[in-house]
Structure 1
Amino acid sequence: MAISLEEFAATLAELLSERLSADGDSWEIEYDRRAMQLKLMNAEGRLVASRLLAPYYHDYVKADAEAAAAKMQSLIASLCKATALPNKYNWVVPLLDARLTSLWDVYKLNRRMSKLAVGERLREPDSVPFLAVSEHLAIIAFVNAPGRTYMVTNRAIKNWGVTAKQIFDDAISNLRDITDGAKLKPKSDKTGTLHYYQSAWPAGDHAARIVLDDLLLGPVAGEPVFLPVGAKSLIIAGSESPVGLGRLTSALADTDALLPPIPLVHSGDMYTPWVPPLDSPLHELTRTYELKYLGTIYGEQRPILFETVSDDIEETFVAAFDLHQDKNGRWCTSAMVTEGVPVTLVPRVEWVTFMRVNVASQSGQVMASNSWDAVAKVLGNKIEKTDLYPVRYRFVGFPTDAELKAIGVHDQNSAVHPASLVKKVGTAKTGAPAKKAPAAKKAATTGKKSKN
């Protein structure tokens, strides 16, 4: 290409200005002839990006017309990485980043965005789409530009003219491209028995890699148990390896668990909580971690729901998720339904108690108390599942005397406990297959239906 360095710089500045102006922000582009440097500054005059043009120029003039145009566009794209979110999807694709987070954090974020829209009188609130991989975990997407990271929202997706599924397919594809299987370090003993894997990738979200196919280079002892600790830690242990399970246990104890502290296994298209055998010392330990996590998110959800139903507070009551220890020190869950309330939103618990309250004497009487399954068998369609997260059920009215008698009054301490509450909790209602993410066939959730 017969062009001078000054002409190259002028062409670059013109094309860069045209591309940046499409995003609606003001930018200043300056070319320093002495230093042969192009500088990009924001509206406040702060230097955002700069490039020494000599090496780019020499590559440009040596190339044919098609290759030269591609090099120019590549240089422009590299400068745009430090600016506002690009307005064309083909610019975005190489920058997409998949990250694993708790589904509860996504719901809280979408609620804040919805409230912000009301405060600013926006016609349509924005929200964050997500791809559920388990009941409590989801993938969200980011545009990972140098010096600045943008969370992908449904408004941006609409502007790009693509779907949430396309976003997640491309973000996970990028994650696969930077994933070296050798960086998932196997931990073996002197006999060669492989006990667990510990992540050691230099880049990308470690935990998010649970959506990738063929992550393991070799089998572990028993069923692979996944513990996504956080952005920089993923542990995969063998369910029949004492050493592997010991590493998993120490990870649960040593971390504040930015992600739900719940070990996972593959189950169909999703991940589900791992339930150790009843005679395993880990059975009650993992169950305790899960129940305490549920107690935390149900506790945060309750005031939000009270705020949501404030206009109908006399019609709807939000029951507490009661987490307590029985006489043997075992953690148990229960909730209470009180007579006189038309609708009670009840969390998914092991035990339900029905109370009749005498307001005058400020006393109450237990009319019935039994396991969730026993109550559901009697009340049938008087219990309606909602689309709230964490899950709640709408108990309509109060049982009749005949229903109360059928439920009976039982002591939770003497009940035969189920193997684990997790066996009774359904998987997330939407999301692509956890192991087959790039070939996802289920639509990603837009996040617009959050009730929390």
Structure 2
Amino acid sequence: MGFFDSLFLCKPPPDRFAAHFIAAARRQGFEGRLEFNADEFRLEHGRNAFFNLHNAYRAYCETRGAQRDKALHSFVATLCSSGQATPALLSEAGPMLRPLIRSRSLIDEIRLHHMRTEGDASSFQAACLPFGDDCVILLAVDYPETTSTLLNGPSASWQLTLDQALRIAADNLRDHTAEAFVQVAQGVYQGAWSDGYEASRALLPDVLQRVPVRGRPVFMLPTREVLLVTGDQDEAGQLHMVELSLQASRQGRTISPAMFRYGPADAWHAAHAVPSGPDVSHFVPAGAQAARHLAHLKRLYQKEEYDTQKAAIDRLNEHAGAGVFLASYLLYGQQDDPVASFSVATWTCGVDTSLPRTDRIALVRPDADDAPGKTRVVAWQQALALLGDLVEEEALYPVRYRVRTFPDESRLALLDEAG
């Protein structure tokens, strides 16, 4: 084996990985059209359908040996299930229904793709319910080899509402949930079912309530395959949980960087999950170190989401001839303190711009020669408070803000330079 061949075994070039993925899909029985779109690093198939390769490529490159084959098989199985017909009879589909928790950004990514391929997103309505601020609950059918997500919700022939179908799905998941939490760090437990529904078991508060943690459970869903739980009275456990989530995010299909907690104990449904899902909110650790690590993890996830969003909207704008500039989500850190990160977006005078939400804004006036200077970096919160009339929130997730008019010198002077 040559030196470069051995390198490819560690991290193949994207086009070679795509070819390898297609070959694996063919071996697994996928017979439809599969075309590799190198610019967007995705496979296009069926009628305006696509399969992103980013997560599969990352998982493949981060693993070795049998784990690498297992990771590839999992993603290929997901692709192969896309053409599987949904059972027409509720009697057949009912026992196979499962609930899924997915990132909210995934839904908007699909909406943007629909807009680009169909020219109008009004016909795209994903059937989902919110889970916290950054996730959604979807309905799925569990097949022996894979899971088929029902973006349109339950089949009309079942005569069920989404709430009713999710109740059945949650009960099914509970019936397949044995006690399977293992301690992976001091005070931190991880679900070990190995069936692809680990994160979705956050919809079963009674299951997490039985984990022997200090205080009430708080949990994280860094990827679809990882559910971590610790206690709200365990500061060290919370720090360990964030560190484990960062490790998980490098390999799995990401969901959320947030730490969650359930609502008041008297609102819990110990016997059954409520149809719309349990009452959850984001939890902020009391410990300063855990809070810093969690904030850094959130920025890493936001960077990935905004990069994906920007690429999709740039393609839309190019096709439509729109002149708006989508500012990038820029992430900076310190070499001696990796979690001391901060995000920045650039707002340039005279440029119609769409800004991501960042920690700071770099206000740039290329031709300036007065007191505020050419570039003034300010805190996002202060800028929004003093310049809010110039900022228009856009209907996107993650959120963006349209800015068409640049503030004048007198208003710039009111803003403090960010340290």
TM-score, structure 1 normalization? 0.60
Give the 5 Å matches for 1:147-296.
147=145, 149-154=147-152, 157-158=155-156, 160-180=158-178, 182-185=179-182, 195-201=187-193, 203=195, 205-215=197-207, 216-217=209-210, 220-241=213-234, 244-245=237-238, 247-249=240-242, 251-255=244-248, 256=250, 257-260=252-255, 262-266=257-261, 268=263, 271-277=280-286, 279-280=288-289, 282-296=290-304
Distance 1:124 1:380 in 2: 29
Give the 5 Å matches for 1:16-31.
none
SS in 2 for 1:407: coil
**C-alpha distance after superposition, 1:113-167 (max 9, x if no partner):** 554556xxx9985554233313333222212234564321327645655433333
Partner amino acid, structure 2, of 1:198: Q
Give the 5 Å matches for 1:290-369.
290-310=298-318, 311=320, 313-314=322-323, 316-325=324-333, 329=337, 330-341=340-351, 343-358=352-367, 365-366=373-374, 368-369=376-377
Q: Tell me: CA distance 1:251–1:134, structure 2 relative to 1, closer, same or farther (3 Å).
A: same
Percent sequence identity over aligned pairs: 22
> Deviation at 1:250?
5.1
1:102 aligns to 2:103 (yes or no)? yes
> Deviation at 1:205?
0.7
Aligned to 2:137: 139
Distance 2:314 2:194 in 1: 44
Q: Which has the larger radius of gyration?
A: 1
Distance 2:377 2:328 in 1: 16
Q: Tell me: CA distance 1:99–1:366, structure 2 relative to 1, closer, same or farther (3 Å).
A: same
> Deviation at 1:246?
6.3
SS in 2 for 1:259: coil
Aligned to 2:128: 130
Partner amino acid, structure 2, of 1:175: L
> Deviation at 1:378?
1.2
Partner amino acid, structure 2, of 1:264: M
Q: Tell me: CA distance 1:322–1:85, structure 2 relative to 1, closer, same or farther (3 Å).
A: same
> Deviation at 1:389?
0.8
Distance 1:351 1:227 in 2: 27
> Deviation at 1:248?
2.1
Partner amino acid, structure 2, of 1:276: P
Q: Tell me: CA distance 1:394–1:144, structure 2 relative to 1, closer, same or farther (3 Å).
A: same
SS in 1 for 2:374: strand
SS in 1 for 2:167: helix
Kept after mapping to 2: 8 A contact 1:264/1:274? yes
Unmatched 5+ stretches in structure 1: 1-81, 190-194, 415-452
Distance 1:137 1:380 in 2: 27
Pick aligned residue for 1:385 from 381, 393, 396: 393
Partner amino acid, structure 2, of 1:236: V
Distance 1:234 1:110 in 2: 27
TM-score, structure 2 normalization? 0.64
Distance 2:353 2:122 in 1: 30
Partner amino acid, structure 2, of 1:201: W
Kept after mapping to 1: 8 A contact 2:108/2:396? no
Q: Tell me: CA distance 1:338–1:233, structure 2 relative to 1, closer, same or farther (3 Å).
A: closer
Q: CA RMSD in A?
A: 3.6
Q: Tell me: CA distance 1:322–1:247, structure 2 relative to 1, closer, same or farther (3 Å).
A: closer
Distance 1:93 1:115 in 2: 34
Identify which of structures 1 and 2 has the higher relative contact order when contacts are C-alpha pairs closer than 8 Å and 6+ apart.
1
Q: Tell me: CA distance 1:400–1:159, structure 2 relative to 1, closer, same or farther (3 Å).
A: farther
Kept after mapping to 2: 8 A contact 1:306/1:313? no
> Deviation at 1:89?
3.9
SS in 2 for 1:309: helix
Partner amino acid, structure 1, of 2:192: A
Distance 2:414 2:255 in 1: 37
Q: Tell me: CA distance 1:217–1:320, structure 2 relative to 1, closer, same or farther (3 Å).
A: same
Unmatched 5+ stretches in structure 2: 1-82, 264-277
